[in-house]
Chain A
Amino acid sequence: MHIDNSTVVLGIESSCDETAAAIVMGGNDVLSSVVSSQIDIHAKFGGVVPEVASRAHLELIQPVINEAIQLAGIGAERINAVATTIGPGLIGALLVGVSAGKAMAYGLDVPFIGVNHLEAHLYAALLEEPHLPFPSVVLLVSGGNTLLIHMTAPGEYSLLGATIDDAAGEAFDKIARFLDIGYPGGPAIDAAAQKGDPKSIEFPRAMLHDGLDFSFSGLKTSVINYVRKNPGVSSNDVAASFQYAVVDVLVAKTLKAAQQVDAKSIVLGGGVAANSLLRSEMQRVGKGAGFHVALPSKAMCTDNAAMIASAGWYRLRDHGPSGLDIGAIPHLSLTGSTVRGNRGERK
């Protein structure tokens, strides 16, 4: 099969909370991108907004795919391949997308491509910036992941560092809940921090000088201990100081990684990449050190299917399709086996 700029890929994503589908042409021309939480499901389909239940994905998957095809303004017969997240994620949730994707591919008689969700996040920046200078260091930071990745070209990457306990996004969420300042935690901390003094409380920067791994569990406990001992403290000051501590570590380690591998660019990805302080600090510090800093839009940072379709296009071009016998792999790592088993391995 010839893969070129006119090859249309349907992308499907159902690894965690979002049910999503997208149509992307030629690897980075997004014709449509539908994420279930962004459309009015109640009005349109009378269903539930998906949480973690695979049942919710099951109810949403077909309407979301149909919506993506319709919005792209193409007929289903124009789809040349179907790319679907096969892992990592929840088995029940993954299976919904994988089954739907295979059925579509089989029905349309087009290739099926199994896509690694983490790998797809690396293509999100390319969707908005196709001429991103490589090599690049990607900070992928979300509720479930905090990873530093060395990307030398599309499809070529290795893991530089990861959290040894909590992901940064998880820390935001839990501290927001602890301070009782709203949900979701990321935006709530971001908003409260604007009204607080980031230097009012000195929270620890764990492992700041020890390599490229992260740890946020101790910071979480230290915030909780501080608030218990100082019950009168302003939540805004705690939020601002906590956020400053997280961002400080994320930016410092990303910069260190970029210098270590002699990168040309720094890329942010994942839900926490929407944090305003992280964006401005990464831009300021990265640019100051001479790196090109790519900050994808919020829609591309968070889970979506356009990045799945994009990763699928590159995978199809470079490695060909997956067999229809490929299954969901809940613990798929970035480099193929266990996430942490291949530290530093060059692919």
Chain B
Amino acid sequence: MNLFASSPIVTREIAAVVASYLRLGDTVVLAGEMGAGKTQLAQGICTALGVTDPVTSPTFNLVHSYAGNDATVYHADLYRLKNTDEIADLALEEFSQQGGIVLIEWGDVGDDIIGEHLEIRISLGEEDEARDIEIRAVGKRWELRWPRLVSATKSFASTDAEWDDL
């Protein structure tokens, strides 16, 4: 589905709605070009999950972890990694299998490497502050929640929401 955020505040509101549908063990891929607002989305999701520590960019440290209300939130950035072996070395799957919630920032996503996940793709809009946000679910894990997420984000929709990718 395609959403529209007129400002960083709206981007965070959308992130908060998505966060309210997250379950322990979920993985969310935050896709988009540099400067589009991937960290902004991560900050919005983390805040909604009850993280009180400042959420800073994990680009150089690769993975940050935060204590949320019900789960540990892992925030990773694959920007510096060169190949799938290096991604495997981060053991992100283990974090989700242990009941954490994993947020992965990545400009260009390969579904086969990440497994079941929710993808939020953010891109620069016409105006400086505006962003286009496209959300899709990969895998069965989101089947039951997807319609509810679609209706919960309806007020942000830029075109008619579709029940795609399921």
- Listed in ascending order, the chain A residues whose CB lies under 8 Å from chain B are 16, 51-55, 88-90, 92, 142-144, 162-167, 169-170, 173-174, 177-178, 217, 220-221, 223-225, 228, 330-331, 338-341
Bound complex: CA A288 to CA B63 (Å) = 40
**Interface pair B89/A16, CB less than 8 Å apart:** no
Stretch touching chain A among B10-18, B80-88, B136-144, B157-165: B80-88
For residue B43, which residues in chain A have a CB less than 8 angstroms away from its CB? 165
Whether B61 contacts A16 by the Cβ 8 Å rule is: yes
Asked if residues A165 and B57 are in contact (CB atoms below 8 Å), the reply is yes
What separation, in Å, do the CA atoms of A84 and B13 have in the docked complex? Answer: 43
Q: Are B35 and A166 in contact (CB under 8 A)?
A: no
What is the CB-to-nearest-CB distance from A258 to chain B, in angstroms, rounded to a whole number?
23
Question: Once the chains are docked, how many angstroms separate the CA of A225 from the CA of B80?
Answer: 23
Which of A143, A224, A338 makes the CB contact (< 8 A) with B34?
Answer: A224
B89 contacts across to A, CB distance below 8 A: 52-55, 92
Does B65 sit at the interface, judged by CB under 8 A? yes
Residue of B with least CB distance to A228: B124
Task: Count chain B residues whose beta carbon lies closer than 8 angstroms to a beta carbon of A.
Answer: 27
B54 within 8 A of A: yes
Q: Is the CB of A166 within 8 A of B39?
A: yes
Bound-state CA distance A224–B90 (Å) is: 29
A-B contacts, 20 listed (Cβ < 8 Å) = A16-B61, A51-B82, A51-B86, A52-B81, A88-B61, A90-B63, A142-B60, A143-B60, A144-B59, A144-B60, A166-B39, A169-B60, A170-B60, A221-B35, A224-B34, A228-B124, A330-B65, A338-B53, A340-B54, A341-B53
- Does B128 touch A at the CB level, under 8 Å? yes
User: In whole Å, how far is B92's beta carbon from the nearest beta carbon of chain A?
Assistant: 12
- Cβ-based interface call for B166 (8 A): no
Nearest neighbor of B91 in chain A, beta-carbon distance? A92
The CA of A130 and the CA of B81, in the complex, are separated in Å by 38
Chain B 48-66, CB-CB to A under 8 Å as 1, else 0, gives 0000011011011111110
